[in-house]
């Protein structure tokens, strides 16, 4: 049976939640590497297909190991139901596409993860879904974009890479006011630091590839919402388009969830220390860190986030050349576009993750030639500070 207590605190739920022990009574979650399931009788198969008897049918629909991951994520998020996906983008695209059709209108904040922006800007219009991108921090822009056929809102906060923060409750109020649904990509905040459903959002999506795995091993994603929305929108879409998570990856992610609070707490603590250090460094033009008083949306962060971020965005003096020289001089921090990992990773968005945007769009988003994004890992913060200081000295 599933081990689930609604009143568990997050750390406990992340160790025990959703566990379905087999007859062997194993301590660690069982890994059910199976495509399908057998039935004792033809009648049992019939009953299961009719939905009259509980049980698994086929791993594209559901699988016991994946089910444990989904149940544990529901406990963490405070959501009624979830579907785990093969990647974060599978989660985002399923969440966005399953509930809209040709003729509907979608409004999204323009500061988005590159692939999310492609789905909104390029893919959806191909199927006759109208889309508008707005400056997500300006409520008047969301209001002005409303149309009679607006069905869905989408945003990410803090945003990638500039860690801009959007007032989720305010956007949710606009969406709910016209009966539209707000989908929030909560990757940068992690499920521990921000609760979009409590703030009025209707659907939350994650790339589990990031903090949830947190150790660079496998891709994964998850969509969470109330049971009604999932039944009416995602259920059939998910079964028939097949973005399902592999049981092996679900098992890995279950292990990731056990240590998520410890890792996020430590990484946030180190990031806050690094951000404070960088803000005083003469080689740095600007530091953006949710958790610092000089963050442009510090008041919203205080209201909607329970803690800072594991990520820091900063601008190295000397533009692209300065940023490249600094990155190349790093010895402990590695150059990579990934984030949320145990290893500290640095990326230069203008030439990697955000290279497909025009110069004008990049400037609009605050992505300058010297901008770098640092994902702080689990190394000792002293070693990271020493690494950055030495690299900045060499770059100057």
77 vs 387 by CB, closer to ligand PLP: 77
For the beta sheet containing 181-185, the strands, ordered from the edge strand earlier in sequence to the opposite edge, are 81-85, 221-225, 203-207, 181-185, 150-156, 105-109, 130-134
Q: According to CB under 6 A, which one of 17, 88, 191, 349 is a site residue for ligand PLP?
A: 88
Shortest separation between residue 51's beta carbon and ligand PLP, angstroms: 31
Give how many residues touch ligand PLP by CB under 6 A: 17
Interface with ligand PLP, residue 155, by CB under 6 A: no
Lay out the site mask for ligand PLP across 203-222 (x = CB under 6 A, - = otherwise): ----x-xx--------x-x-
CA nearest to 194, candidates 295, 77, 296: 77
Q: What is the four-CA torsion angle of 124, 127, 128, 133, rounded to 10 degrees?
A: 10
Q: How far is the CB of 354 from ligand PLP (least distance, A)?
A: 12
CB of 136 to ligand PLP, least distance (A): 13
Sheet holding 284-288, edge to edge: 284-288, 311-316, 371-375, 345-347, 334-335
**CB closer to ligand PLP, 187 vs 323:** 187
From the list 268, 251, 253, the residue with the least C-alpha distance to 20 is: 251
Residue of this chain nearest to ligand PLP (CB atom): 88
Span interacting with ligand PLP, options 31-39, 60-68, 181-189, 317-325, rule CB under 6 A: 181-189
Residues 89-102 as b/e (b if ≥16 CB within 10 A, e otherwise) read: bbbbbbbbbbbbee
Map the footprint of ligand PLP across residues 16-75, applying CB under 6 A.
none
- Chain mean position to CA 264: 14
Which of 84, 92, 218, 357 binds ligand PLP (CB under 6 A)? It is: 92
- Identify whether 268 is preceded by a cis peptide bond (ω within 30 of 0): no
The single residue listed with the structure tokens 């770098």 is: 372
Tell the smallest beta-carbon distance from residue 278 to ligand PLP (Å).
Answer: 22
* Separation CA 96–CA 281 (nearest Å): 42
Told to check if 196 binds ligand PLP by CB under 6 A, we report no
Instruction: Considering only residues 93 through 122, tell me which ones interact with ligand PLP, judged by CB under 6 A.
Output: 113, 115-116
Among 68, 74, 79, 89, binds ligand PLP (CB under 6 A): 89
**At its nearest, how many Å lie between ligand PLP and the CB of residue 137?**
17
Do you know the residue count of the chain? Answer: 396
In this chain, which of 104, 185, 315, 341 binds ligand PLP, going by CB under 6 A?
185
Supply angle C-alpha 80, 82, 88, rounded to 5: 145
- Position of tokens 């039935």? 39
Segment contacting ligand PLP by CB under 6 A, of 22-30, 48-56, 180-188, 367-375: 180-188
156 near ligand PLP (CB under 6 A): yes
Site residues (CB under 6 A) for ligand PLP? 87-89, 92, 113, 115-116, 156, 160, 185, 187-188, 207, 209-210, 219, 221
């Amino acid at each position: 049976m599933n081990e689930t207590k609604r009143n568990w605190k997050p750390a406990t739920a992340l160790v025990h939640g959703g566990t379905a022990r087999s007859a062997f009574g194993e301590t660690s979650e069982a890994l059910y590497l199976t495509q399908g399931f057998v039935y004792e009788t033809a009648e049992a198969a019939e009953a299961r297909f009719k939905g009259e008897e509980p049980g698994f049918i086929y791993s594209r629909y559901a699988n016991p190991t994946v089910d444990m991951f989904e149940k544990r994520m529901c406990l963490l998020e405070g959501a009624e139901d979830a579907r785990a996906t093969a990647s974060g983008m599978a989660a985002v695209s399923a969440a966005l596409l399953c509930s809209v059709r040709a003729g509907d209108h979608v409004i999204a904040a323009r500061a988005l993860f590159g692939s999310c922006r492609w789905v909104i800007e390029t893919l959806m219009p191909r199927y006759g879904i109208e889309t508008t991108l707005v400056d997500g921090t300006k409520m008047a822009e969301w209001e002005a974009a409303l149309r009679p056929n607006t069905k869905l809102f989408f945003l990410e906060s803090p945003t990638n890479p500039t860690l801009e923060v959007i007032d989720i409750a305010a956007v949710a109020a606009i969406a709910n006011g016209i009966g539209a649904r707000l989908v929030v990509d909560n990757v940068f905040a992690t499920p521990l630091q921000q609760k979009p459903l409590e703030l009025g959002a209707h659907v939350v999506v994650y790339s589990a590839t990031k903090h949830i795995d947190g150790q660079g091993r496998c891709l994964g994603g998850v969509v969470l919402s109330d049971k009604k929305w999932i039944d009416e929108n995602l259920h059939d879409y998910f079964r028939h388009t097949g973005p399902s998570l592999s049981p092996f990856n679900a098992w890995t992610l279950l292990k990731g969830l056990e240590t998520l609070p410890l890792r996020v707490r430590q990484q946030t603590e180190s990031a806050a220390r690094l951000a404070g250090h960088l803000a005083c460094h003469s080689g740095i033009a600007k530091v953006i860190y949710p958790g610092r008083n000089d963050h442009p949306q510090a008041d919203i962060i205080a209201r909607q986030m329970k803690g800072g971020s594991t990520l820091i965005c900063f601008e190295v003096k000397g533009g692209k050349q300065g940023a490249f020289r600094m990155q190349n001089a790093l010895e402990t921090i590695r150059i990579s576009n990934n984030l949320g990992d145990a290893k500290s990773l640095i990326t230069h968005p203008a030439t990697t993750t955000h290279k497909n945007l025009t110069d004008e769009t990049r400037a609009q988003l605050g992505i300058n030639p010297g901008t770098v994004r640092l994902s702080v890992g689990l190394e000792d913060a002293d070693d990271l500070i020493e690494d950055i200081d030495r690299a900045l000295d060499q770059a100057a």
